[in-house]
Amino acid sequence: MYDDLMRTFITYGVSAVGAMCLACAGTLVSVRPRPEQPTTLHVGENAVVQVSEREGVIGSAGSSLVLLKRTHQRGVTIYLYRAVKIGNHTLVVAPEHLQNGQCISCVTYHYFLTVVQ
């Protein structure tokens, strides 16, 4: 009987601790910014940007975001950034291969991100 009581107590105790850990854990938030639109992120949130191979490569200006992962799927490159510091950050998407005389500013677009606490 004592063993059954202890087993029940331990089972409920472990379940309660597990539930409290899950309740206190932060949720992972991912934001999909839009080109040429200001986007606000909180420190710890993620930004997911998808760029087609045709659109080119992504560049970055600022230190508020850190690139976590870059993956390629079916002609699309997916960039996953984490907001690590309060401030402004700009992502620039420009084509890799321009033809002579082609206007680069006509085919380049930006993601304007502000990271807050």
Checking if the pLDDT of 79 tops 90, the result is: yes
Domain span at residue 86?
Answer: 28-116
CA nearest to 95, candidates 66, 52, 60:
52
- Does residue 48 lie in a domain region? yes
The angle at the Cα of 67, spanning 66 to 71, to the nearest 5 degrees, equals 165
Under the banding of pLDDT at 50, 70 and 90, the label for residue 9 is: very low
- Report pLDDT digits (tens) over 11-64: 444 343 333 433 444 557 899 999 999 999 999 999 999 998 777 778 899 999
- Does residue 34 lie in a domain region? yes
Q: What percent of the chain has pLDDT over 90?
A: 51
- Does residue 46 lie in a domain region? yes
- Does residue 21 lie in a domain region? no
CATH of the domain at 87: 2.60.40.2020
Tell me if 64 sits within 8 A of 83, measured CB to CB.
Answer: yes
- Does residue 95 lie in a domain region? yes
Total structural domains in the chain? 1
